[in-house]
């Protein structure tokens, strides 16, 4: 069909449709460009995340190692100046900033310790066992009954006290 033979309102409507079609095409290209940028940013973020996560794992491993060295079984064997390292100072992270000073040694007077404990009795002393028996009136069974009418059903050992409270 030829556009010159159509009515003016129809021609205007067709022109508007062509303008909308051009706008749609430009919006489609802008949308495609934005989607490409989003994909590019996502890949960059994934790479940055992976780098930061790897750095985090390295720092966590170093931290765990320092904690293990500090509080492990052999931590008491560390020298005094290394028992509490400066972990979170700016100087600790930079190589060459920690200047080690020579240690001053102090001499301490030593002494000999005495061997504790009881000395054994002399070999010349007489050794013989002594059995001390208590009277029958004081002997009681652990079931608090006197030992003289002791029956076969009572199996408690005989003690010298009447009860465990000292009465």
Which stretch of 108-112, 122-126, 143-147 has the lowest confidence by average pLDDT?
Answer: 143-147
Same domain, yes or no: 87 and 159: no
Same domain, yes or no: 160 and 84: no
Say which residue, 121 or 2, is predicted with more confidence: 121
Q: How many residues does the chain have?
A: 167
**DSSP secondary structure string, the chain?**
--GGGS-HHHHHHHHHHHHHHHHHHHHHHHHHHHHHHHHHHHHHHHHHHHHHHHHHHHHHHHHHHHHHHHHSGGGGGS-GGGSS---SSHHHHSTT--PPPPPPP------PPPPPSPPPPPTTS----------TTT-EETTSSBSTT--TT--PPEESSSSTT--
Same domain, yes or no: 139 and 68: no
Number of domains in the chain: 2
Same domain, yes or no: 145 and 80: no
Quickly state the pLDDT bin for 1 (edges 50, 70, 90). low
Same domain, yes or no: 59 and 140: no
- pTM flag (> 0.75): no
Residue where a domain terminates, one of 43, 77, 94: 94
Same domain, yes or no: 86 and 149: no
Q: 21 lies in which domain range?
A: 1-94
* 109 falls within a domain: no
CA dihedral (11, 12, 15, 21) positive or negative: negative
For residue range 118-137, what is the model confidence (pLDDT) as tens digits?
A: 888 888 988 888 888 888 77
Same domain, yes or no: 3 and 60: yes
Same domain, yes or no: 79 and 3: yes
Residue where a domain terminates, one of 94, 123, 153: 94
* 129 falls within a domain: no
Quickly state the pLDDT bin for 154 (edges 50, 70, 90). low
Q: What is the pLDDT of residue 39?
A: 96
Same domain, yes or no: 80 and 153: no
Report the half-sphere exposure of 94 (CA within 13 A, side-chain side).
7
* 111 falls within a domain: no
Quickly state the pLDDT bin for 151 (edges 50, 70, 90). very low
């Amino acid at each position: 069909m030829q556009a010159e033979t159509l009515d003016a309102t129809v021609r205007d409507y067709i022109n508007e449709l062509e303008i909308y079609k051009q706008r749609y095409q430009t919006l489609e290209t802008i949308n495609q460009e934005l989607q490409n940028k989003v994909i590019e940013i996502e890949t960059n973020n994934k790479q940055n995340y992976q780098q930061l996560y790897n750095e985090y794992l390295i720092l966590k491993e170093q931290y765990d190692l320092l904690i293990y060295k500090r509080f492990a079984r052999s931590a008491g064997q560390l020298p005094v100046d290394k028992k509490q390292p400066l972990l979170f100072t700016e100087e600790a992270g930079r190589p060459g900033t920690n200047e080690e000073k020579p240690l001053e040694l102090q001499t301490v007077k030593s002494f000999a310790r005495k061997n504790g404990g009881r000395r054994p009795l002399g070999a010349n002393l007489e050794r013989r066992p002594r059995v001390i028996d208590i009277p029958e009136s004081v002997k009681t069974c652990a079931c608090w009954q006197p030992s003289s009418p002791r029956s076969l059903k009572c199996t408690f050992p005989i003690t010298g006290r009447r009860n465990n409270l000292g009465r």
